[in-house]
Amino acid sequence: MKLIRFGTHGREKPGLLAADGRRRDCSAHFFDWNRDFFAGGGLERLRRLDAARLPEVPEDARWGAPIARPGKIICIGLNYSDHARETGAEVPKEPILFMKAPNTVVGPYDDLLIPRGSRKTDWEVELAVVIGKEARYLDRPEDAPDCIAGYAVGHDVSERAFQIERGGQWTKGKSCDTFNPLGPFLATPDEITDVRNLSMWLSVNGQRRQTGNTRTMVFDVHYLVWYISQFMTLEAGDLISTGTPPGVGMGMKPPQFLSPGDVVELGIEGLGSQRQVCRSEN
């Protein structure tokens, strides 16, 4: 299944992306794709719906993020060996964890806001993982698939000056408004043949910047879910951003960053693509 949400920001309704490419409205049957939905067996109830009988979503309806605001967003730093090399960092011996504010999540085609005082807003295409049920002290990585609701394209936007040059943790450079476009849909695991081998890409103004594959992850998705569960309880509806391949602006020579008017496009095999226009908050 491919879960979508649609409508005005903050008032989105739940839906499905049907096999014919049309969006279908599920709001008569479900309130939202949120923690209660995932934790309460909602995916199994959703599978019993006949998508062909659901009303169509108007073609001009905005695409929202495919899940409601998550309880928490956990991000993984330097999780692609080739990305670590481009930044001059050592490949981590354990996953690097940091948090991103949940209110950063927006739709896949919403504008990307360059924050006030920004000099170094950067791009990062990432595989996003949505948790389907509580994961706490999992015994082994092989237990992780049972806790995963699905996968989506994530854009882990970063302000590098805020992140690196202003002291403290990375969170302040990761949590500006609109810094986590998500979607266009959440694909349940049965839609993905091999999550360890998905090609991914990102372009700025039509020029390819990132080309990668999840096979170069240092720590794969199942290991990450297991690992995180040793330090915090993952709850249904939580979001994990699993790291980015090489080609970020910070790693270019000389470094390049986003400006108002730039257009960013990105995608992951089997998970669709996004497009954002950058504009200034000033």
Q: What confidence score (pLDDT) does residue 87 get?
A: 73
C-alpha triplet 186, 188, 190: angle, nearest 5°: 145
Contact (Cβ atoms closer than 8 angstroms) between residue 263 and residue 176: no
pLDDT tens digits for 63-73?
Answer: 999 999 999 99
Break the chain into its structural domains and give their ranges: 2-64, 73-280
pLDDT tens digits for 39-60?
Answer: 999 999 999 999 889 999 999 9
Task: Inform me whether the pLDDT recorded for 282 exceeds 90.
Answer: no
Confidence of residue 119 (pLDDT cuts 50, 70, 90): very high
| Beta-carbon count within 10 A of 18 CB | 16
pTM: 0.96
- Residues 60, 61, 66, 71, Cα dihedral to 10°: 150
Q: What confidence score (pLDDT) does residue 281 get?
A: 87
Fold topology of 73-280: Fumarylacetoacetate hydrolase; domain 2 (3.90.850)
Q: What confidence score (pLDDT) does residue 33 get?
A: 98
Q: What confidence score (pLDDT) does residue 81 get?
A: 82
Task: Inform me whether the pLDDT recorded for 84 exceeds 90.
Answer: no
Q: What confidence score (pLDDT) does residue 88 get?
A: 73
Task: Inform me whether the pLDDT recorded for 169 exceeds 80.
Answer: no
Q: What confidence score (pLDDT) does residue 83 get?
A: 75
Q: What distance in Å separates the CA atoms of residue 140 and residue 229, rounded to the nearest whole number? A: 10
Q: What distance in Å separates the CA atoms of residue 197 and residue 226, rounded to the nearest whole number? A: 19
